[in-house]
Amino acid sequence: MKLVMAIIKPSKLDAVREALTDLGVQGLTVSEVKGFGRQKGQTEIYRGAEYQIEFVPKIRVDIVIDDPDLDRVIETIRSVANTDKIGDGKIFVLEVSEAMRIRTGETGANAL
């Protein structure tokens, strides 16, 4: 199994979720994160003084999938989350050695 960890723009979350569901992905987990990269945070000005906001709000989507689904999932995320603008984010893939559904104790791909 693979963990696909996608860092995307917050405004793309709903579209990504829908596209993945259409693909048959059964579940995913989302966290609010802050990103630092080529895209710079905005500058806020308070009472004339500049405050540099270093970080940009991003959403991290974690999806554990069975190996054969990997390419389709990556491709789907890429196509939906892409706006051709700096800061669209990244997709990282990690190996998952085990998965278990807490409710049933099922393991492996059945747990997803």
Partner 1 sequence: MRRVFLHIFLVTPLIPALLWSEIAHAANLNDGNTAWVLTSTALVLFMTLPGLALFYAGLVQSKNVLSVMMHCFSIACLVSVLWLIVGYSFAFGEGNSLFGGLAKVFLSGVSKETLSGDIPETVFFTFQMTFAIITPCLIVGAFPERMKFSAVLIFSGLWLLLVYAPVTHWVWGGGWLSEMGVMDFAGGLVVHATAGASALLLASMLGPRKDFPSGLKPPHNPGLSMIGAAMLWIGWFGFNAGSALAADVSAGMAMLVTHIAAATASLVWMMIEWIKFGKPSLIGIITGMVAGLATITPASGYVGPLGGICIGILGGLLCYWAVGLVKSKLSIDDSLDVFAVHGVGGIAGTLLASVFGATVFGGGGLPEGATIGSQLGIQSIGVVATVLWSLAFTFLIVKLTSAIVGLRVSNDEITQGLDVSTHGESGYNL
Ligand X SMILES: Nc1ncnc2c1ncn2[C@@H]1O[C@H](COP(=O)(O)OP(=O)(O)O)[C@@H](O)[C@H]1O
Which of 7, 65, 69, 73 is close enough to bind a copy of itself by CB under 8 A? 7
Q: Does 36 bind ligand X (CB under 6 A)?
A: yes
How do beta strands 43-46 and 2-8 pair?
Answer: unpaired
| Alpha-carbon dihedral angle through residues 72, 75, 81, 85, given to the nearest 10 degrees | 170
Q: Check residue 63 for interaction with ligand X (CB under 6 A).
A: yes
Please report, as residue ranges, which positions from 23 to 82 form the binding site for a copy of itself (by CB under 8 A).
Answer: 26-38, 54-55, 58, 60, 64, 74, 77-78, 81-82
Residue 81 CA to chain centroid, in angstroms?
Answer: 9
Query: What are φ and ψ of residue 63, in 5° steps?
Result: -130, 125
31 near ligand X, rule: CB under 6 A: no
Q: What are phi and psi of 69, to 5 degrees?
A: -80, -10
Instruction: Count Cβ atoms within 10 A of the Cβ of residue 18 and give its class: 0-12 exposed, 13-18 middle, 19 or more buried.
Output: exposed
Q: Out of partner 1, ligand X, a copy of itself, none, which partner does residue 22 contact, by CB within 5 to 8 A per kind?
A: none
Binding site for a copy of itself (CB under 8 A): 1-3, 6-8, 14, 17, 26-38, 54-55, 58, 60, 64, 74, 77-78, 81-103, 105, 111-112
Residues that bind ligand X (CB under 6 A): 7, 26-29, 35-39, 56, 58, 62-64, 86-90, 101, 103, 112
